[in-house]
Structure 1
Amino acid sequence: MLPEALSNIFRAKQKSYKMVLILSIIELYQRTHSYQASIDQIAQKFLAYFQQESEAGNTVDTPPEQKASGWNEFTLSQTKGLLKTPIEALSAILNFDQANQTLTLVNPEWFNEETLKELKEYAMEELNKYNKKLELSREQPSFSLHNALSQIMNTYLQAKTEPFTQHPLGILVRKTIPNKLMDLLSLGNEYLIEGSTGKGKWADIPWIAVMDRRITKTTQRGEYIVYLFSIDMKAVYLTLAQGVKNPPKDGYTKKYEYLKKKTDEIRNLIPLEGLHKDENIFLTDRSGLGRDYQVSTVAYIKYERDDLPEDDELIQDLRNLVSNYNQYVDIVLHSREELTSDKEPNPVTLTVKEQLEQVKRYIHHKGFLYPDGLLENFYLSLKSKPFVILAGVSGTGKTKLVKLFAEALGATMDNGQFTLIPVRPDWSDPSDLLGYKDLAGIFRPGRLTEVLVEASKRENKDKPYFICLDEMNLARVEYYFSDILSVMETQEWNSDRIITSPLIGSESLREEDQPLYGGVSLPDNVYVIGTVNMDETTHPFSKKVLDRANTIEFNYINLEQYPDYVEEEGFASPAVNNLFLRSDYLQLSDVYSTYQDLVHSTTDKLVRINDILEEIHSHVGFRIRDSICFYMVYNQRFDLMPHDKAFDGQLLQKILPRIQGSSLSVKRVLLQLMQEALGKSIPIKDLLDDASDLYGKYGRKQQDGDVKYPLSARKIAFMLRRLEEDGFTSYWLS
């Protein structure tokens, strides 16, 4: 039976590239018996498959259209570039050595005859199923959104001069396009898609709307997605809009003022990345519904008739807007639940920054003070990945931070949304967290599984659940936590939810236990925070753990902090929707088009740092690159910290924990990183003998104001001092 880490690697597939990549690696290993294969060798095998299958007349994926018309014209260099995407998608099971340009499976134990045989059969089965599906789709006439929108814009004005009843263009808008979009988007029964060219006579502005029945069944009220065509048919707008009929009687007296206020509220609730959020949509210069539509539009993308994108881009834009719409619907439904309960409703119009200020006030009110920027950092770390480590000396408030942060968001021990699990030194496998089968075969769930089952219930999916693993390194984290770490890397989008591979397989359970525990996975509303005290009684962390977590340090303590007396009134902890914390991005492609400059500038910094880290084999891969980019994007999007302060935190939390040792190479790396942290040159050769000037100057709490990354500089100074005084250094030494 395949190891769990390999059993679901093709679960999400847009093309056949992942299957062919794995088959190429296996074939090379079976031929050479070498664990490592060069990218050149793999690219040759990969390209040969597509060329041979194409020449044989078999159905396979075509190469990127802009690169070549067929695989015989595709070059080896282009193939190596193409492989970056499937390699990144399989980063949980593949190690890519950038320096040597080699690729291998991360676990040497997988290189055995039985496992490779099963993996090859699995890849072949998935590849054959994919190619058969591809062949069927090519045989059947396909629907083109590009062609449909183009047909409307090119023929609508002429159609308006012709009889309205049973006109083919009306049938296209009212029936064909809605039906095809339902299939294309795989929408559930809660959705309704309608199109209109008018009632009894041609409308000036035809439309096609996507509505969630739970908040609206008509374009006259509520919020929905809609394609709106300009009156001159020179453009079509993909929009998130709101109904323009019947604003509430107790709302603004002027309809446009009411619509504008509602528009601003919605824009503050959801990302709307890649969409315009201004008033520059132009449908008509006439009064009436066309003008109303312009005012009521929350966000939009404009497509010119003569420059209409191809289907891939049109569909990607539509899926992006559906994802945003789903988030908004979740917020509306959650708000309705609050309004009908005994709780005070949570104001849904607060920005992330404002919500974090509420969290800070709540924690301060409870008598706890944390350094400036810590709460923002903690939030961004959880938003980037639902696993965070809080490290430092005992008694600094690590566990309390988790508890108070959760309480400030409405998650408490009493309602089951906050769970404290003390780690025991004798934990040696996942059964202590997940559970085990007793001698009678009855499954006895662990505490973590009990929380996952509760969090997965339909009525709880919008509530955040916090699990605090207290002193998690009293036992070896890799022993008891490895299954959870592996499953975290299987996150993928399923409609508007993030799903993972199961932690507990149904086939291993009794029939009576399967309904409750079979297929339990890690839902997107669960956040795991580990607290660690680094001393001689604890275990160090492996890079597998560090790669998947932000490590926030609590070693610098200011004892001269005192709580302010605050009146009790007004400090209830409001429940928030899980969207406040849940990741919006799982792959770099989710943010690249919108934040391309930020991604490039962040990656450029990491490339320089990687060049330094290569000397001690501590350089980072795609997983850390993506995580840091997500952190920086969230920070910019929510306007939480200055850019350099945010990157300083990531350098401190994602890079420095990887460094330890006693060699001269480690010291040289630390000095080069200090140079990056200071933002200016230092005499590295001279400092290799004695770096006391550095840690004397930059190891203090108060540093010169011209330090680019002061937190990282202070930590590096501390690590240099330990190296010179003790002959060994590590991020984790307290």
Structure 2
Amino acid sequence: MDIRDLLLELARTYDEGKGTSSGVHAQDLLRRAGEEWRHLLPAGFDAEGNGGSGGASRTPWIGVYDPDITRDPKKGLYLAYIFAADLSTVTLTLQQGVTSLQAKLGEGEKRRRYLQSRAKQLRAGLAKDLVEGWDARPDFKCDVLRARSYEAGSVAARTYDTAAMPTEISLREDLWHMAEVLQHAAAVERNLRDEMASSGLPVTKRVEGEEEEHAGLDGFRPKDGSDYYVLIRQRKIKKSRSHEVLVRLFGEYIEERGFVPITKKMHPKDIVLRRDGVEWMVEAKTVKRGNPTKAVREALGQLYEYSHFLYEEQGKGEPFLLALFTEDIKAYAPYLEKRGIASVWKTVEGWAGSPMAVAWGMVDEQ
């Protein structure tokens, strides 16, 4: 089921009084949400439905997570589709973890005040055009304390009337936009600090800070080509969870198009594709905060580097080169093509790519 159909089916069939047991249609649908949406989400994201534990929730919801930020709705930032208690609306919201605050702040007014203050700081740190047209605080029509905390903790939200739902493409575009907002908000959050006020309650303030750079190849200085070949195979390079999900999704997709995707014993290469005796080397990159520049530079450098040291220097025929991305790299696609590198990226409708990728049969012509 796509996003629209699943949300509408939940609005039509969810009944708090039926509990959470297996066999309750809406609860089963919530449990399947992650699998149903697996190929519809921004690359690297996961989804998980929640209809309550112990008792059924008055406001059922589906969390959408960037695992590089959090996979635990109790803490950190994530996206969620939260239904109002009367099921008349469902809201896509950028949420803060609520449950982890209970021990320190309780479940009532203190927690809501803290979450609302933090939401304001997060929103203030975002570029205005990112959240223009998005509300800050939704209304879940529910007096349950957790639902009220979700209202207070919302950073940005868009509410849909279940009697007049937008099209599937509109819903996906909103979700992909919010996925980008989530990544920006996570960067803002890294510069937030809590201070204790005279009231004894924590107050969130924003401080200036520098983003931490990944250092996966610190100290990696090969002396020559053969040294490189040995060292790079021994080197463990940490890959993000979203990177691994992108590789898996693409592997499943490209196999259906007649290519053989191989990851086993291919380190440090992300994927090798083979078909009819021809080989492609694939480098996968996640685009963060809507800016493909860094991802493109890294893909370009690594593809050239690996092609030289792992193929040419070893006396092997050089492969065709393919860069794989979580989203459209726009002007960089022709830039890479001029350098002999094709590109493929995830879209709201599936997969798209550059002219060489189309010619190879990896994606359809757009």
Superposition deviation, residue 283 in structure 1: 0.5
What does residue range 299-310 of structure 1 map to in structure 2 within 5 Å?
299-310=156-167
What does residue range 345-384 of structure 1 map to in structure 2 within 5 Å?
349=206
Cα 1:507–1:225 shift into 2, 3 Å: closer
Report the TM-score, using the length of structure 1 for normalisation: 0.28
Cα 1:262–1:332 shift into 2, 3 Å: closer
CA contact (8 A) 1:269 1:348 kept: no
Cα 1:520–1:149 shift into 2, 3 Å: closer
CA contact (8 A) 2:88 2:161 kept: yes
State the partner residue of 2:50.
196
What does residue range 180-259 of structure 1 map to in structure 2 within 5 Å?
180-185=36-41, 187-188=43-44, 192-247=46-101, 254-259=110-115
Aligned-partner Cα distance in 1 for 2:154–2:313: 47
Aligned-partner Cα distance in 1 for 2:309–2:211: 36
What does residue range 430-579 of structure 1 map to in structure 2 within 5 Å?
494-496=286-288, 498=292, 499-500=295-296, 502=300, 505=304, 509-511=308-310
| Identity rate, percent | 20
Question: Which residue, 125, 148, 155 being the options, matches 2:6?
Answer: 148
Question: Which residue, 159, 173, 186 being the options, matches 1:316?
Answer: 173
Aligned-partner Cα distance in 1 for 2:313–2:110: 57
Aligned-partner Cα distance in 2 for 1:292–1:228: 12
What does residue range 267-416 of structure 1 map to in structure 2 within 5 Å?
267-271=123-127, 272-279=130-137, 281-330=138-187, 332=189, 349=206
CA contact (8 A) 2:2 2:36 kept: no
Superposition deviation, residue 183 in structure 1: 2.3
Report the TM-score, using the length of structure 2 for normalisation: 0.52
Q: Any idea what SS the aligned residue of 2:11 has? A: helix
The AA in structure 2 aligned to 1:208 is I
What does residue range 88-167 of structure 1 map to in structure 2 within 5 Å?
143-156=1-14, 159-162=15-18, 164-165=20-21, 166-167=23-24
Superposition deviation, residue 240 in structure 1: 0.5
Aligned-partner Cα distance in 2 for 1:323–1:268: 16
CA contact (8 A) 2:94 2:155 kept: yes
Superposition deviation, residue 494 in structure 1: 4.9
The AA in structure 1 aligned to 2:6 is A
What does residue range 635-650 of structure 1 map to in structure 2 within 5 Å?
none
State the partner residue of 1:469.
none
Q: Any idea what SS the aligned residue of 1:306 has? A: coil
Cα 1:514–1:349 shift into 2, 3 Å: farther
CA contact (8 A) 1:192 1:212 kept: yes
Cα 1:348–1:221 shift into 2, 3 Å: same
Superposition deviation, residue 251 in structure 1: 7.8
Aligned-partner Cα distance in 1 for 2:29–2:170: 21
Aligned-partner Cα distance in 1 for 2:34–2:133: 22
The AA in structure 2 aligned to 1:235 is T
Aligned-partner Cα distance in 2 for 1:251–1:201: 24
Query: Greater relative contact order (Cα 8 A, min sep 6): structure 1 or 2?
Result: 2
CA contact (8 A) 2:2 2:37 kept: no
Deviations along 1:322-364, one digit per CA (max 9) or x if unpaired, are 122123335556989xxxxxxxxxx9836xxxx7xx9xxxxxx
The AA in structure 1 aligned to 2:77 is E
Cα 1:410–1:149 shift into 2, 3 Å: closer
Q: Any idea what SS the aligned residue of 2:40 has? A: helix
Superposition deviation, residue 520 in structure 1: 12
Q: Any idea what SS the aligned residue of 1:283 has? A: coil
The AA in structure 1 aligned to 2:308 is L
State the partner residue of 1:264.
120
Aligned-partner Cα distance in 1 for 2:170–2:66: 23
Aligned-partner Cα distance in 2 for 1:203–1:326: 28
The structure with more radius of gyration: 1
Superposition deviation, residue 250 in structure 1: 7.6
Q: Any idea what SS the aligned residue of 2:63 has? A: strand
The two structures, once aligned, show a CA RMSD in angstroms of 4.4
CA contact (8 A) 2:48 2:63 kept: yes
Cα 1:225–1:200 shift into 2, 3 Å: same
Cα 1:506–1:264 shift into 2, 3 Å: same
Superposition deviation, residue 235 in structure 1: 0.5
Aligned-partner Cα distance in 2 for 1:240–1:312: 20
Aligned-partner Cα distance in 1 for 2:184–2:70: 15
Cα 1:326–1:155 shift into 2, 3 Å: same
Cα 1:180–1:293 shift into 2, 3 Å: same
Cα 1:278–1:148 shift into 2, 3 Å: same
CA contact (8 A) 1:323 1:495 kept: no
CA contact (8 A) 1:275 1:299 kept: no
What does residue range 577-592 of structure 1 map to in structure 2 within 5 Å?
none
Aligned residues: 234
Cα 1:325–1:514 shift into 2, 3 Å: farther
Deviations along 1:651-673, one digit per CA (max 9) or x if unpaired, are xxxxxxxxxxxxxxxxxxxxxxx
Larger proportion of helix: 1
Give unmatched runs, 5+ long, in structure 1: 1-142, 337-346, 359-408, 416-440, 443-456, 460-492, 524-734
Q: Any idea what SS the aligned residue of 1:151 has? A: helix
Superposition deviation, residue 231 in structure 1: 0.8
Deviations along 1:535-586, one digit per CA (max 9) or x if unpaired, are xxxxxxxxxxxxxxxxxxxxxxxxxxxxxxxxxxxxxxxxxxxxxxxxxxxx
State the partner residue of 1:118.
none
Aligned-partner Cα distance in 1 for 2:55–2:61: 14
Superposition deviation, residue 301 in structure 1: 0.6
State the partner residue of 2:35.
179
